Amino acid sequence: MKRSVTVIGAGIVGLCSAIQLQRRGFNVTLLDRRPPASETSFGNAGVISRGSVFPTAAPGIHRKLPQILSNRSREARLHYRYLAQLSPWARQLFKNANVEKFEQNIDALNAIVSLCLEEHQALLHECDGLALLRQNGWLKLYRNPESFESSASEQGYMDQCGIDFERFGATQIQSMEAALKPIFTGALWIKNTASVSSPGQVCNLYAQLFSDAGGAIVLDELQQLEQDREQWQVHCVNRKIASDCIVIALGAWSKPVLEQLGYRIPMVVERGYHMHYQSSAELGRPLYDVDAGYVMSPMQKGLRVTTGVEWGSEHSEPTPVQLQQVRPFVAEAIQITDELDPEPWLGRRPCTPDSLPVIGAAHKHKNLWVAFGHGHMGFSMGPITGRLIAELMTGSSTAIETDCYKLARF
């Protein structure tokens, strides 16, 4: 008889885990309280980034603290009421902020990031979604020559990681993205990066791939997990689901569920916003305006501007201050007119202190597996995470070494 598994959470990570488990012979139920990809996987910047191998915990991070703690940074903002909840994460973050740990974490990120694009390509090919994928890299743009020069150490690490990039001056930037106003003095073009014109639509195609192969998507809210001899009981608001195995892929909502089961997770939620703008200027690829602290991506709906980090509790009201702060910088860089969304969209990035995802067995329980904590890179890492979790659950050899991502590291 087929083994049954309930994958809880139908964001990009849960969807891809469900697909890969189904292919390896499991009877899969995918559970979410909302339709697939209604949360963070819907509204991100859609970059499948090869160059994002840098953990937040970098040597010298403490020098940024005064600016962050006084809310003077456009890139990071803090709800002071959330400060106490940040401390277990912050303690471990600082333990990771030395050269040795930083380089270890770069290696661990590089291993998984290097496989993101090919896994997306394979899935998009199967669901006729390749038209949504642009394979022309992304640009990190610098306004100040000094900040461009200070990216030298980052460039050195990218070389070591085998990341293909080019340094651009102002003229090359203009010839690549003619719609930009001539305010940028330097750029890094990260080449083997791709992007999509609708992350939500990509997820919907993946959900369709799963359903077409006989997978069940159940809309209900998880309330409690209980292990009853060899079986798991998933208690939801409207039903109870019994299954042999569980995969927790609840993104930013994974922590409270695992805490109920006795795991301590030093994870925080880094909120981020987006707004679409009307623009007659056409961009070929996503851009990161490093000195102004936002990303803009050409999407089906318009020009999507996404913000940096806001540390705030899951339940606090949206405070899209950073969107207001970056808007004049966006207008300086490119022609924009109307806002196209009635309200700013709010998403929640699940962030660990070492910036590595959590993938593997939950060590205190049998047949409980986890796939969460993908931070700023979950859209990229979803498909490879699905493959790794399915390989681990079937005892197959894994595409890469997975020890560095295990839950028991905390």
Ligand X SMILES: Cc1cc2nc3c(=O)[nH]c(=O)nc-3n(C[C@H](O)[C@H](O)[C@H](O)COP(=O)(O)OP(=O)(O)OC[C@H]3O[C@@H](n4cnc5c(N)ncnc54)[C@H](O)[C@@H]3O)c2cc1C
Chain residues binding ligand X by CB under 6 A are 8-14, 31-34, 38-41, 44-47, 221-222, 249-253, 272, 274, 306, 347, 349, 372, 374-380
- Which residues sit opposite 152 in a β-bridge? none
- Tell which residue, 21, 25, 27, has the closest CA to residue 4: 27
Phi/psi for 168 (5° steps) reads -115, 145
What is the C-alpha to C-alpha distance for residues 153 and 335, in angstroms, rounded to an integer? 33
Helices 116-126 & 12-23 angle (0-180, nearest 10): 70
Q: Which is nearer to ligand X, 97 or 117 (CB)?
A: 117
Q: Minimum distance between the CB of residue 395 and ligand X, rounded to whole angstroms?
A: 24
Closest contact distance (angstroms) between CB of 217 and ligand X is 11
- Of 9 and 51, CB closest to ligand X: 9
Min separation Cβ 1 and ligand X, Å: 27
Closest approach, Cβ 83 to ligand X, in A, equals 21
Distance of closest approach, residue 241 Cβ to ligand X, in angstroms: 11
Q: Which two tokens stand for residue 36?
A: 């697939």
**How far apart are CB 114 and ligand X at their closest, in Å?**
14
Beta strand residue intervals within 212-357, DSSP E:
216-219, 222-228, 231-236, 240-243, 245-248, 268-277, 287-289, 294-298, 303-307, 309-311, 345-351
For ligand X, which is the closer residue by CB, 143 or 348? 348
**Toward ligand X, which CB reaches closer, 185 or 372?**
372
Rounded CA-CA distance 286/348 in Å is 20
Nearer to ligand X, 17 or 92 (CB): 17
- Residue 204, C-beta contacts closer than 8 angstroms, at least 6 positions apart: 36, 37
Could you tell me the sign of the dihedral formed by the alpha carbons of 194, 195, 197, 200, in that order? positive
Least gap, CB of 409 to ligand X (angstroms): 18
Q: How far is the CB of 100 from ligand X (least distance, A)?
A: 26
- 180, 188, 253, 277, 327 from 174: Cα distances, Å: 7, 13, 42, 21, 21
Q: Kindly tell me which of 3 and 235 has the beta carbon lying closer to ligand X.
A: 235
For 168, what's the count of Cα atoms within 13 Å in the CB-facing half-sphere? 22
DSSP structure class, residue 220: -
